[in-house]
Chains A and B, each alone.
Chain A
Amino acid sequence: MGLSSIAYDLGSGLNGPMSISHLSSPRQQLAFSAKSCSRACITVRAADGNSGSMRAPPSTVRASKLVTNAVAVKSETASIAATKSGHELLLFEALREGLEEEMERDPRVCVLGEDVGHYGGSYKVTKGLAEKFGDLRVLDTPIAENSFTGMAVGAAMTGLRPIVEGMNMGFLLLAYNQISNNCGMLHYTSGGQFTIPVVIRGPGGVGRQLGAEHSQRLESYFQSVPGLQMVACSTPYNAKGLMKAAIRSENPVILCEHVLLYNLKERIPDEEYVCCLERAELVRPGKDVTILTYSRMRHHVLQAAKSLINKGYDPEIIDIISLKPFDLHTIGNSIKKTHKVLIVEECMRTGGIGASLRASIMDNFWDYLDAPIMCLSSQDVPTPYAGTLEEATVVQPPQIVKAIKQLCG
């Protein structure tokens, strides 16, 4: 046939490893491989001369319509062929992809933080970017959170679009003054003269026995700073989309990631897409009860949902995504349908996201509620080191099941 070998890897492709030997010509074989998976690694050694285009350029495989996939809700408008494409990756890789695409698109986008450059990022989110974009665009800073966050805000005042990486969200407490007073408020106090298009991102939340100081949930501290926007990503799909949206936003955005979600694997579209910073995600439609959650707790809720569905309940699960401002439109529509709400969050009981969300719902949807809003949060304690104790500080799936039983009867 002329082609000596084709090696390709479609990962755990939807139909299992593919065989293309039934296709007649080498060109057909090649075209098929390229269309199926643009991330397939294809090495072709052609013996004959008529194989002109060895590799179809990626742009030709991008569909012109936005393709939605990789979530529980299957839309009937999505075509079968479209759901086969896409590439699988881990959450931290999705963040990197989003970051890299935005840095290519706009030369003003730069990253700064500790060990983001040569080291590649402590969670590998910026791996390879310093080699590609240079040291000034992927800047290794000394350990001075207050100052380099301030520096990013100052650079943003002139028009650059920096992304500040906190190695752990908890370290950004040192930069609280800069985030609250300068980042959040300068647009207002300057009468609109300055925009601060900064993205502040980093992993937070309770990990695996990291200790109290490295298991903080800063979303509760930042939520009342005026002028800031806050989102929390929970899957590779929304991680990439929210990263891109946050970078493109003219407002300062805090992107809350979670230490334990970086290795989550998912298939995401090849086409470029941007998520909406203010829209909540309907993970599973239902009619019995509305479960509002975000970040890691989404996955605990989904785990609990499996046993709830077996027991006959029909929960509607919404990942709120936008922590500031809340997407009351999506949440409200759900409450109007189900009349019962359970909030599952990782923040502490006092002053957390759940507390504010509860107040918001009561203010706006009181008449639609058939039962008091239940809120499951972490305990108001510093996170202990011992594994058993640490498990007890955060909400676990059995507690969620129990709460739903209590709420729905």
Chain B
Amino acid sequence: MTFQKVVHADYTSNVYVFFLFSALSFILMLRGDFGIGLDGKGIPVSEAEKEESTLSITVVGASGDLAKKKIFPALFALFYEDWLPENFTVFGYARTKMNDEELRNMISGTLTCRVNQRFSTLPDLSFPIPHDLNADTREHLQGKLPHTAKPSYLKNFELLIEAAGKVSNRLFYLSIPPNIFVDVVRSVGLRASSLNGWTRVIVEKPFGRDSESSGELTRCLKQYLTEDQIFRIDHYLGKELVENLSVLRFSNLVFEPLWSRDYIRSVQLIFSEDFGTEGRGGYFDNYGIIRDIMQNHLLQILALFAMETPVSLDAEDVRNEKSLRSMKPLKLGDVIVGQYKGHSKSGRSYPAYTDDPTVPKGSLTPTFAAAALFINNARWDGVPFLMKAGKALHTRRAEVRVQFRHVPGNLYKRNFGTDLDMATNELVLRVQPDEAIYLRINNKVPGLGMRLDRSNLNLLYSARYPREIPDAYERLLLDAMAGERRLFIRSDELDAAWALFTPMLKELEEKKIAPELYPHGSRGPVGAHYLAAKYNVRWGDLGGDDS
């Protein structure tokens, strides 16, 4: 275990913040009271290393949307919560011409302190500021950002020189379109690797479009990087409740015995967004919801959910178990695809997917999909794992629902009427929004007589934990800095994931399967229900009494 930092709810006292911007970089320094529950272990590098090493984080694609909305804010959050080592530098790198001020301006617009951590006083700027950034670096980089020329990537990366000969560790976050991935990786690998520290590269989805392209991408990455330098990020794995999934399962005696086909009837992984592509359909149209959400996010959650108990919580142990090779490749008959169409509601009209100007006319790309997957092992044989993902639906939600089997020989079955199906227990992990865990149980309705009803045993995070929950990117960035690979996807995992989806995706495209159209803002195509019915289960999220 890498992180054992005890996070106390109040450690706002005695914190000073400084923003130090230098050439293409900003340095965020923090002086915190290390007596408040913060010990050396809390920092992702050892005490000794912290003293003598530097960490440079380079966000490649710094002017992009993700960088602005997620990466810089996450780095800042890590900084003010004192998770970053003492000597660190953050570099933005992009083709856009920008000077330091402009970068800082751009970034500062998205930085905020968490509600419970806002500083009550202004930073004390009289505090001595260590400033030892190489002036040359600043000079060289100013205004010399390359436009497109590939060789200049190399040149410019060379210029990222760390301060004063310390052990230099380098983390590159590639937040760039897939077509230039490999070039950038080559440049990083060849010309900007740290000589005396580690170099790690965080890569974003898409990891290819299918087995072949993904295999190709992996091969290219491996020409320049070793497996343990590659950090494929899937931000769903950094979500609080996804992390908690293993805790729930492995540290509670009441759940562990239930985790198998003996007790679980179906598992449902549900993702929905309440908006469409909104003018950003260009990228999406090339991938579709199955590649964009299912093959990565939902499948990763499934793997975490269903894996055998790992030998330990070490990254390799967990990733060995997560390997998806006992799953059956998805069949076309077990998939439903949909696409949203225009819809008018109370005077407002919502556009169809194909109304998006960035989407080709007549596109058949699915914006909704439901699928049934199966795991052929002793634990899960016959248990349907249902996935559902869609855009432009009625609600925004991501959740894992575990539906348990019926009580055999239920003494109380008369009290349920005929619909025994509705009376099974269900464990729901709501990943977003409003993180919660609840267990639906059958309970006697208070009163004379004997009537049963489902009630929830609830844990609503906002009620129990007043602290704001960190963004997934914070956790993942921190893990990457610490070299904790548990939540990143290993090459063989990725191969296995693509092997499950590729045949079906190919078939879907070759046969030009027309998606079932559903109105923008609706509950999605009814086909999803028929798919569930085929396996004699029912979507838990559309039960009506549980919204």
Q: Specify whether A and B are partners.
A: no
